[in-house]
């Protein structure tokens, strides 16, 4: 039986998909969604991500909505369980309080037993301090460690 990795897609990945500059980040975001369409991954996101995407221009948000409807298996609501984990990340200094959404993404992915948070946010999500800190906090709270990766890194993920 093959296991399909479960990915939490964060705001920046949707933004880079429609960036328009045709750089490597955009190409990798597009390739990631192609691999999701081909069944290599299951993709999830959250209400908080949708809330951030709504801030995009009308046309861009419409395109993002279409991408979500086509590729995202489920939009997850933040649970009390995730909020407790968010509090642990912030009180332990793993993620600054001003970056609450980033903590919510990681906690939501963790409590929903996803495998990776996929992001281009290198400031607070895909960062060694966050990977180690959230991983240890997750283990202390009875969860498993999850990956925090860019689309590029997950595309190179070898099952």
Global pTM reads 0.93
Q: Could you tell me what percent of the chain has a pLDDT over 90?
A: 82
Fold of the domain spanning 6-155: Rossmann fold (3.40.50)
The Cα–Cα gap between 29 and 38 comes to: 14
Which of the four pLDDT bands, split at 50, 70 and 90, describes residue 89?
very high
Whether residue 157 is predicted with pLDDT greater than 60 in this model: the reply is no
| Number of other CB atoms surrounding residue 19 within 10 Å | 14
| Average pLDDT of span 68-75 | 96
Which CA distances in Å does 121 have to 11, 56, 99, 102, 125?
A: 9, 17, 11, 9, 6
Give residue limits of the domains in the chain. 6-155
Which of the four pLDDT bands, split at 50, 70 and 90, describes residue 57?
confident
Token pair listed for 83: 């909020």
What torsion do the CA atoms of 62, 51, 37, 124 make, to the nearest 10 degrees?
A: 130
């Amino acid at each position: 039986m093959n296991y399909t990795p479960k990915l939490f897609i964060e705001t920046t990945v949707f933004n880079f998909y429609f960036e328009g500059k045709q750089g490597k980040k955009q190409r990798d975001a597009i390739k990631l969604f192609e691999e999701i369409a081909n069944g290599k991954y299951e993709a999830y996101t959250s209400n908080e991500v949708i809330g951030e995407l709504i801030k995009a221009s009308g046309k861009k948000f419409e395109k993002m909505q279409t991408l979500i409807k086509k590729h995202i298996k489920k939009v997850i609501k933040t649970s009390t369980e995730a909020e407790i984990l968010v509090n642990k990340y912030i009180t332990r200094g793993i993620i600054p309080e001003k970056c609450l959404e980033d903590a919510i993404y990681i906690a939501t992915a963790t409590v929903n037993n996803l495998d990776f948070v996929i992001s281009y946010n290198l400031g607070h999500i895909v960062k060694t301090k966050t990977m180690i800190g959230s991983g240890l906090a997750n283990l202390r709270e009875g969860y498993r460690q999850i990956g925090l990766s860019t689309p590029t890194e997950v595309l190179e993920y070898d099952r």
